[in-house]
Amino acid sequence: MKVLYLYMFPLWGNGSGAWLRRLIEQLATSPRTKKKFKAYIIAPESHKFGFATIRKPTGIDEAVFVGNPSLPNARSFTSWTGREHVENFNHYLKETTSVVEKFKPDLIHVFHTAFLPSIGNLISDMYGIPIVITTHGSDLYYLKEDKRWRRQIRHSSLNAKYITANSTFTRRWYIEMFGKDLASKMRTIPAGVANKIDFSQDVSWIDKQYKFKYDKMVLFTGRLIKHKGAEYLAKAAKDIKAEVFILGDGPERPYLEELIKKYKLDNVHMGGFFSGRNTPKINDFYKRADIYVAPSVWKEPLGMVVLEAMVYKTPVIVTRQGGVTSIVKDGVNGLFVRPRNSKEIAQKVNKLLADDKLREKMAKNAYESVLTKFSWDKVAQRFFNLYLRSIPKPKKSSPVPSKNSLIK
């Protein structure tokens, strides 16, 4: 099975890129699928990826939905003129056609919406290749503001074999946006988490390097954009007796650094953006953290960073909205807070810091809950089965009649 993935961002620096890499890696290494699977990716990525061939399309402008640390100077898709959309579409289509001629895929997986479903749909019509579309939610936030591609996405969705969403929240939103008649072909398949974690690894280097004053640590990771609400954790930090780490980069970073100076927050550390080459390093922070805080002010489509924290046995504190509510159970594996409420964040963090037994119980529940529902092994197998159902089965050739059967 040869699958061509169409993607519109670098593979490192955002949740959907990490998702795509891990999905392909799992399919390429699992004993059940590795001999049956081959991947090719078209994406604006210069790094090599050992589990698939990557083609970086030429002539494509950098753009984002809501921000990407790998694209610090990129404009928003909403700011593109009609001509820019058409020109970028044509460049990407040309690259895709070239790859299709060479790679000859059995299926095209469109990973995100905007203009990519139309690329996949046109190729499907011209070459008879089935398509699967995946929405991650951030694309729907963009399409809510910019409606120029919505009619084309609707048409492509009707032609797609399946449409997958990363949460029930995203699935409902997609149906509301593009039509109830698509419900029968939609599947909710969440992100996955690592199946095995080495909890014995020493991460004391973090305490030494950052000269910890407190023995407890609170963590945030993600893009530093307004939607993620990191400022509310920073404002809460003055009332938290623990080291607070904010890892990531984006347009909100200068503002956060000003807050740290304004409130003289010597317990807040700005760790910057960890690229894909430094993934083991960021995993050390997940291992070291006692609590993970995701203070999003928008309806988070899923929250991959929340899953990653939980698989490292870290209880989470999140805002009660969006797809994250399908992951976190209040009082069981984490706690909910209201959006834009620094006071409540500090209260909930301090509650867990003060109660070791409660924190350890939630940590255990967090780990077990994500392994049960969100292991990459299970997620990748669901996609593989979906691929198999999408690809037409070869027609059985009719037996050639013998000479005797023709003589009567």
* Cβ neighbour number for residue 370 with a 10 Å cutoff: 25
- Averaged pLDDT of the chain: 90
pLDDT category, 73, cuts 50, 70, 90? confident
pLDDT on residue 403 = 56
Write out pLDDT tens, residues 193-249. 876 788 888 999 999 999 999 999 999 998 888 888 999 999 999 999 999 999 988
Beta bridge partners of 318: 294, 336
Domain(s) labelled CATH 3.40.50.2000 in the chain stretch across 2-192+375-390, 205-372
What topology does CATH give the domain 2-192+375-390?
Answer: Rossmann fold (3.40.50)
Write out pLDDT tens, residues 309-336. 999 999 999 998 777 777 889 999 999 9
Asked if pLDDT for residue 260 goes beyond 60, the answer is yes
Asked if pLDDT for residue 408 goes beyond 60, the answer is no
Question: pTM to 2 decimals?
Answer: 0.81
pLDDT on residue 320 = 85
C-alpha R_g of the chain: 23
What integer is the mean pLDDT of 104-109? 98
Separation of alpha carbons 32 and 387, rounded Å: 14
pLDDT on residue 232 = 95
Asked if pLDDT for residue 308 goes beyond 80, the answer is yes
Q: Are 242 and 212 in contact (CB under 8 A)?
A: no
Rounded-to-5 percentages of helix, strand, coil across the chain: 50, 15, 35
Asked if pLDDT for residue 278 goes beyond 50, the answer is no
pLDDT category, 189, cuts 50, 70, 90? very high
User: Which of the following CATH numbers is that of domain 205-372: 3.40.50.150, 3.40.50.2000, 1.10.580.10, 2.40.30.10?
Assistant: 3.40.50.2000
Q: What Cα–Cα distance (Å) separates residue 138 from each residue in 168, 180, 216, 396?
A: 14, 20, 33, 43
Lowest mean pLDDT among 62-66, 111-115, 246-250: 62-66
Q: Which residues of 63-80 are buried (b: 16+ CB within 10 A; e: fewer)?
A: bbbbbbbbbeeeeebeeb
Write out pLDDT tens, residues 30-48. 999 999 999 999 999 988 9
pLDDT on residue 201 = 87
